[in-house]
Amino acid sequence: MTDPSLAPEIALASDLFDALRAASLDAPGVTRASYGPGERAAHALAAEAARRAGLLVEWDAVGTLRATLPGRDRGLPAVAIGSHLDSVPHGGNFDGAAGVVMGLAAAAHRARRGMRGARDLVVLGIRAEEMCWFPAHYLGSRAAFGLLPREAPETLRRADSGRTLAEHMAEEGFDPGIIRQGRATLDPTGLRCFLEPHIEQGPALLAEGLPVAVVTGIRGSLRYPRAAVHGENAHAGAVPRAHRRDAALAAVALIAALDARWAAWEAAGRDLVCTAGILATDPAHHAPTKIPGTLRFSLDIRSEDAELLAEIDAWLHEEAARLEAARGVRFDFGPPTHAAPAVMDEGLRAALRESAARAGVAVREMASGAGHDCATFAGLGIPSAMLFLRNANGSHNPDEAMAMEDFAAGLAVLSGALDGLMA
């Protein structure tokens, strides 16, 4: 136990995690569809816990839960803590929920001890972050800030139901008209900062024996989801090497060259991860005895460094041109998607590091490879930061495993940082 005074809030959090799991159980795992029943149940439980802690509870017109511990001057920009309450189908109990529960625990702690700050402390339960339901990044946070395209309520359909965002929002009692009018329910100038605690979705903290990390930034991405190489189908035995136009070998050569460059960039201290998640010859034409004439592949390249992403994009096209000349193939990368990296606020990062040092919690700093709502806040110029909590088995699966001791360590770090931020 890091700080004995946090014990009642650790118990509150533990009970709330249990209740969340029970209310959205969908074996194996939990299912909390965006603007669906599991998310609704999670919001109701979080709101109930907030009311019991003495916080003011409301939902805005797009369904963002706001649980507020009022400050002495309610006109001052508020400190916000939060994350999302939806999950992937058959997901884990902690991705998203851990951030909301930690925000509630921190606010409950201050309420119980009569620690009213100068400004409001607001815990946000954000809607619809998991992209598997509606095909849009950070749907709920962008809806709250009025950043979605006005046609989104009609054009976005939920993957499981096929019904529109407008229908699902209305069914949950919220107003898609706000999005159609381009109106915001959250005002960036009303927020002093945003803090998002979240489970780590990779193995770094577990491997290093650390409970908590302070996030340096959220990686941006360059993606080619529908790339292809075109060569020529031909007989595997009859065509000599010089006459082959082998699409598979050309794609593999490109990916191997990218891997070698990645190792060099990483050795030079630059933040980068690269993945070719799809790599497939055409099942209508492929055979063990055929030189593959077409290969479809995807590239997902992420970095905290926007310049590096641009540099890699240029390098990819140069390397592809070289391979086209050498191998008689044609690369067609298809349309790219870009997401800008989000930089976490250095002042907040320092506050979290210093709080960790005071609490005796060992931390490291690391980039976030996955996207988070925090990127929406940072993109609007709101000083933003994230805490990662040690978690085994990755995320988006039923085996997410965050220990309550690590949650307690994270809560101690967050609570300590709040003392300064609330002034």
Task: Using CB under 5 A, list all residues that contact Zn ion.
Answer: 95-96
**Cβ 115 to Zn ion shortest distance, Å:** 28
- 60 or 95: whose CB is closer to Zn ion? 95
For Zn ion, the closer of residues 341 and 416 by Cβ is 341
DSSP secondary structure, 295-322, as one string: EEEEEEEEES-HHHHHHHHHHHHHHHHH
Q: Which is nearer to Zn ion, 330 or 396 (CB)?
A: 396
380-419 residues labelled b (16+ CB within 10 A) or e (exposed)? bebbbbbbbbbbeebbbeeebebeeebbbbbbbbbbbbbe
CB of 98 vs Zn ion, minimal distance in Å: 9
Give me the least distance between CB of 13 and Zn ion, in Å please: 17
Please give the Cα distance from 72 to 54 (Å, whole number): 16
Within 10 Å of residue 89's Cβ, how many Cβ atoms? 17
The residue (of 95 and 345) whose beta carbon lies closer to Zn ion is: 95
Minimum CB distance to Zn ion smaller for 65 or for 69: 65
Is the backbone peptide bond immediately before 28 cis, with ω within 30 degrees of 0? Answer: yes
Residue 294 CB, nearest distance to Zn ion (Å)? 36
Closest distance of CB 30 from Zn ion, Å: 13
Please, what is the minimum distance in Å from the beta carbon of residue 33 to Zn ion? 15
CB-based burial, 184-221: b 16+ in 10 Å, e otherwise: bbbebeebbbbbbbbbbbbebbbeeebbbbbbbbbbbb
**Sign (positive/negative) of CA torsion 213, 214, 216, 222?**
positive
**212 vs 316, beta carbon nearer Zn ion:** 212
Query: Please, which residue, 63 or 96, has the CB nearer to Zn ion?
Result: 96
CB of 34 to Zn ion, least distance (A): 12
Shortest gap between Cβ of 95 and Zn ion (angstroms)? Answer: 4
| Chain centroid to CA 357 | 27
- Strand (E) or helix (H) holding 21: helix 7-23
Report how far Cα 131 is from the mean position of its chain's Cα atoms: 9
State which amino acid sits at residue 175. Answer: D
Element (H, E) at 390: none
Nearer CB in complex with Zn ion: 2/34: 34
